[in-house]
Structure 1
């Protein structure tokens, strides 16, 4: 209790809050505790406003930023389920991402995390569910990355449209992960013009624009690259051999535990479409030639012998992993009857993939 009184008296002693750094440190201290309720957060927020006074704009902005940081952490810890979160959302302030005080605050307090909380709160205020509102762009230890949704794309567009260079750098770096895991769907492609016109030139920006060019060849409607592939008997194939059929591909390897774990679901989906004559389910292994025997053994052990199993067969002019930017597996493709890409970053075997297949068959 004595410590709190001393801190309060020290705060009151600041003549017109001339020492900006001291004020920031005071705010940091008042916000440093663990908050057990929304009321505890809002009480700290309003107490600081009273002590700062309305004229001390930079400090008010800092207090607003701390409010976003702690509110976001509280909401995330409770996965948006606590009843008092609604009252907390009503009191979270509006922030200008271009404000110089906000930018300095981000530099001092993890810009990526703070921004994730900020946009999550905005989405929750609009009535989105917690899972739809939380960040889907970054991997985290607390939540698995979910498929990108309209909130994520709106967030990226807003970030690249603002004048906050720190956020530009932070999210250009994240774009590398998005390309690797999502390719260049229409929503990501639509961001290119914003990045070109609003983001200051830098090596990182040029790297992202280069990725746009590379992944453009794998976008919807493009012809599927005709990489060289071989079956278990050594017969050569390319996707041109499957014209007239919708092709569903599972890219895997014998050393990939997740691939083998999901293979039964892929085969189950294959069986569901067995009545259709114009569809072909197949697997493509990225095992090296030295693992050919291991690949053949895995096909038998995992009951995969009733489907076409291919393995990448690199040549001087063709390399499956390079042409399809395989940086992680399993990966799933859907290619239409004309050999055009529907997606080479399809969701895993399940209802969403099933719907994509059904829509492709109707075309």
Structure 2
């Protein structure tokens, strides 16, 4: 009898569908992901197709379990991402502005999304999704690509986003979003939106380590604002000679902060050398480099290899990076004749133009 039962059980296991064995049923959230993965835009009207797909999946969720918050948030998040990519990528790549269609429908969708829901706030990509959400919502309210991702009105929308989040009273949302501003400081600098929101961050952000770290970034950025005194420094050049900030008093000082291990720095250094050569012989301007290398020999070899030995090249061995709020390199700055910052972070493509502007202002 026992042998017969064992045989039957084995036969049942053999014919049992694999889905029943060791595999849990797909969650509704996973089904939603699959539906978006399978999504193909066949309609010429891309936005219409994206909105239609969102509606279709919304109805599907309702038919399965209308209370499944995770599935709903997944659908909302993917719809926002699709719209964000459609409008932002062409602009960021080619400055192409795509006219916004179906604004009412977009606005309706955005108004239905609760970005403060626990499941959404706890998402690891919360900050990214919030940025996308506010951009798409602005499109639905009449903004155009140039205002969101160009210089025209970007900082206005950034400020409004920061302000709304801080005034939401949602502690989790604030604590999960605002640490992401470190990337704004790093790649965009101390933007007008950051300057404007600084007092509100100080007032509204909950106390703790995250706030302390963010406030420290604001304070470092404030220290290098135009007109603020540049901190004193003393560093050695490649010949072991000491140079101090006070040595350059009475001159415009242009600084390239770089390192031999930084590919972007190495690629731009020859062009910086050419700019410096253009002004060679002038007594009212000096060009120097400040290295973030930690290996003296590697630094010196790099200077020779890159044919930059004619410049005044300094090797940092103190707190220059912290004092001068260097979030990343290469970084270019200009200090005036009195030792005050003119600008502490200049995009390389604008460096020569900024130098000319500063020198022309001195002629007046």
The SS at the match of 2:203 is helix
Partner of residue 197, structure 2: 191
Deviation, structure 1 residue 225: 1.0
- Kept in 1, the 8 Å contact 2:233–2:320? The answer is yes
Deviation, structure 1 residue 302: 1.6
* Residue 73 (structure 2) pairs with residue 73 (structure 1): no
- Kept in 2, the 8 Å contact 1:160–1:168? The answer is yes
**How far does the alpha carbon of each residue in 1:278-330 deviate from its partner, in whole angstroms, 9 at most, with x for none?**
22111112333x52x4333322322223322222244xxxx323322445322
Structure-1 separation of matches of 2:129 and 2:216 = 29
Partner of residue 140, structure 1: none
* Residue 228 (structure 2) pairs with residue 211 (structure 1): no
Which of residues 45, 50, 60 is equivalent to 1:41?
50
Structure-1 separation of matches of 2:178 and 2:267 = 33
Partner of residue 129, structure 1: 145
* Residue 285 (structure 2) pairs with residue 279 (structure 1): yes
Partner of residue 328, structure 1: 328
Structure-1 separation of matches of 2:173 and 2:112 = 9
Partner of residue 357, structure 1: 355
Structure-1 separation of matches of 2:180 and 2:285 = 36
**How far does the alpha carbon of each residue in 1:175-205 deviate from its partner, in whole angstroms, 9 at most, with x for none?**
2333445554554233221112222333311
Structure-1 separation of matches of 2:305 and 2:229 = 34
Structure-1 separation of matches of 2:124 and 2:222 = 36
Deviation, structure 1 residue 227: 1.3
- Kept in 2, the 8 Å contact 1:228–1:320? The answer is no
Q: Which has the larger radius of gyration?
A: 2
**How far does the alpha carbon of each residue in 1:33-84 deviate from its partner, in whole angstroms, 9 at most, with x for none?**
424233322223445778999xxx9999x96984563243254167247998
**How far does the alpha carbon of each residue in 1:217-256 deviate from its partner, in whole angstroms, 9 at most, with x for none?**
2222211111111223222111111112111111122222
* Residue 327 (structure 2) pairs with residue 342 (structure 1): no
**How far does the alpha carbon of each residue in 1:71-122 deviate from its partner, in whole angstroms, 9 at most, with x for none?**
4325416724799873254521254599577454454584223212212224
* Residue 302 (structure 2) pairs with residue 298 (structure 1): yes
The SS at the match of 1:92 is helix
Partner of residue 6, structure 1: none
Which of residues 121, 130, 134 is equivalent to 1:115?
130
- Kept in 1, the 8 Å contact 2:84–2:135? The answer is no
Length, aligned pairs only: 320
- Kept in 2, the 8 Å contact 1:247–1:335? The answer is yes
Partner of residue 93, structure 1: 107
The SS at the match of 1:321 is helix
Task: Report the TM-score when normalising by structure 2.
Answer: 0.71
Structure-2 separation of matches of 1:233 and 1:335 = 24
Structure-2 separation of matches of 1:215 and 1:83 = 33
Residue ranges of structure 1 left out of the alignment (5+ in a row): 1-21, 137-147
Structure-2 separation of matches of 1:339 and 1:182 = 24
Change in Cα spacing, 1:283 to 1:105, as seen in structure 2 (3 Å) is: closer
Structure-1 separation of matches of 2:254 and 2:301 = 23
The SS at the match of 1:220 is coil
Change in Cα spacing, 1:261 to 1:357, as seen in structure 2 (3 Å) is: same
- Kept in 2, the 8 Å contact 1:116–1:135? The answer is no
Q: Alpha carbon RMSD of aligned pairs, Å?
A: 4.1
The SS at the match of 1:247 is strand
Partner of residue 309, structure 1: 313
Residue ranges of structure 2 left out of the alignment (5+ in a row): 1-26
Task: Report the TM-score when normalising by structure 1.
Answer: 0.71
Structure-2 separation of matches of 1:313 and 1:157 = 40
- Kept in 1, the 8 Å contact 2:253–2:334? The answer is yes
Mean alpha-carbon deviation: is it higher for 158-167 or for 257-266? 158-167
Mean alpha-carbon deviation: is it higher for 265-274 or for 279-288? 265-274
Structure-2 separation of matches of 1:48 and 1:309 = 61
